[in-house]
């Protein structure tokens, strides 16, 4: 993948990626994305026969302008800036460069996107009617129950071992972003679903310690869980359902039921309360939609409004 302009550059990038994995504890997904962002920067610089070691603020501005034309989304741009900034910061620390060229370069502001979620009936329908049959229907229900009932991330679900789940205490031990550990509570439906899957799993007699297994007896992948979620949604007439929507549904329903933001923050493993606060906007937006559909004042027909205006004259 890497452009071969010399062993020094290749060695720098390899050492930086090892640093991200072992010291920063970044996920494989994040490292893969950062690697792709750095490669695009290297390719851009090579067009003018320059390298990362030589890059200055003018190179950065040109690259960002070029990237914005190809992918204008602010979130995509900010991730590229973050990847390059982390590499430059590391290189400066290692005295490979003397100055970070990203200093004083402003970032585009992310547009706040409200999380998508299911209503309670939709969420119940999906977790109670997953795809597949027999052992794997049992497994899929347990997965969906934990995504919705505990609000864990898809990567956290894929990484669970049998010993991660305490059925007596209704707790699951997860390894979140940045390798941060937390204990997450779940309800009785999730307990029943996991217990049912463990009984079925025992019949398969796999050697793996992983909680969720594929048909070969190996740990189920994140990609497979995405597919299970999407196809279970399709089975229940919900298009493009993804694991994050189940997690968002958990948070939104907790808030609607009266849970405080700090508790939801702990449940989801958010490092910042600001991230959790998005759900207050979702809850208000949902409330307004319900009002518009149900309240008599919101159902006034145009003809009635015209009649009211005439009488007022």
Quick count: other Cβ atoms within 10 Å of Cβ 291? 11
Dihedral Cα 283, 285, 288, 293, nearest 10 deg:
-100
Nearest-angstrom CA–CA distance, 128 and 121:
11
Q: Say which of 177, 182, 234, 286 is annotated catalytic.
A: 177
**Count of alpha carbons within 13 Å of 78, Cβ hemisphere only?**
8
Q: Is 227 a catalytic residue?
A: no
Q: Is 177 a catalytic residue?
A: yes
Q: Helices (DSSP H) in 150-221: which residue ranges?
A: 154-158, 188-204
Q: Is 286 a catalytic residue?
A: no
Q: By C-alpha distance, which of 7, 2, 82 is closest to 45?
A: 2
Q: Is 216 a catalytic residue?
A: no
Q: Say which of 26, 34, 148, 279 is annotated catalytic.
A: 279
Nearest-angstrom CA–CA distance, 67 and 48:
16
Q: Say which of 80, 153, 219, 253 is annotated catalytic.
A: 153
Q: By C-alpha distance, which of 181, 215, 238 is closest to 25?
A: 181
Q: Which residues contact 266 (CB under 8 A, 6 or more apart)?
A: 182
Q: Say which of 141, 201, 247, 253 is annotated catalytic.
A: 247
Which two three-digit tokens encode residue 274?
A: 């600001």
210 DSSP assignment: B
Rounded to a whole number, what is the largest CA-CA distance in the chain? 84
Q: Say which of 107, 170, 182, 244 is annotated catalytic.
A: 244
- The CA-atom distances, in angstroms, between 252 and each of 63, 264, 281 are 39, 9, 10
Which two three-digit tokens encode residue 201?
A: 């799993």
Q: Say which of 139, 191, 253, 270 is annotated catalytic.
A: 270
Q: Residue 1 in 3-state DSSP?
A: coil
User: Strand (E) positions, the chain?
Assistant: 165-166, 171-175, 181-185
Quick count: other Cβ atoms within 10 Å of Cβ 216? 8
Catalytic residue numbers, as ranges: 153, 177, 244, 247, 270, 279
């Amino acid at each position: 993948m890497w452009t071969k302009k010399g062993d020094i550059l290749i060695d720098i990038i390899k050492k930086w990626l090892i640093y991200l994995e072992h010291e920063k504890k970044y996920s494989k997904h994040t490292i893969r994305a950062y690697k792709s962002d750095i490669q695009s920067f290297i390719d851009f610089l090579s067009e003018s026969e320059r390298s990362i070691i030589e890059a200055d603020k003018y190179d950065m501005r040109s690259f960002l302008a070029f990237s914005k034309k190809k992918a204008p989304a602010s979130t995509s741009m900010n991730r590229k800036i973050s990847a390059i900034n982390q590499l430059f910061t590391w290189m400066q620390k290692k005295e490979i460069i003397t100055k970070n060229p990203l200093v004083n370069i402003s970032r585009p502001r992310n547009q706040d996107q409200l999380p998508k979620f299911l209503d309670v009936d939709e969420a119940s329908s999906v977790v109670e009617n997953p795809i597949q049959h027999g052992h794997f229907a049992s497994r899929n229900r347990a997965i969906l129950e934990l995504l919705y009932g505990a609000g864990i991330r898809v990567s956290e679900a894929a990484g669970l071992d049998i010993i991660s789940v305490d059925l007596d205490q209704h707790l699951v031990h997860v390894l979140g972003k940045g390798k941060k550990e937390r204990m997450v509570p779940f309800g009785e439906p999730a307990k029943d679903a996991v217990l049912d899957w463990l009984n079925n799993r025992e019949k398969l007699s796999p050697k793996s310690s992983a909680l969720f297994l594929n048909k070969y007896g190996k740990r189920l992948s994140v990609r497979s869980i995405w597919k299970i979620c999407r196809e279970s949604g399709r089975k229940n007439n919900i298009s493009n359902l993804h694991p994050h929507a189940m997690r968002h549904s958990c948070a939104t329903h907790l808030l609607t039921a009266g849970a405080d933001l700090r508790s939801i923050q702990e449940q989801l493993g958010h490092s910042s309360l600001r991230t959790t606060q998005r759900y207050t906007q979702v809850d208000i937006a949902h409330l307004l939609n319900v009002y518009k559909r149900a309240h008599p004042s919101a159902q006034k027909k145009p003809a009635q409004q015209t009649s009211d205006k005439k009488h007022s004259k």
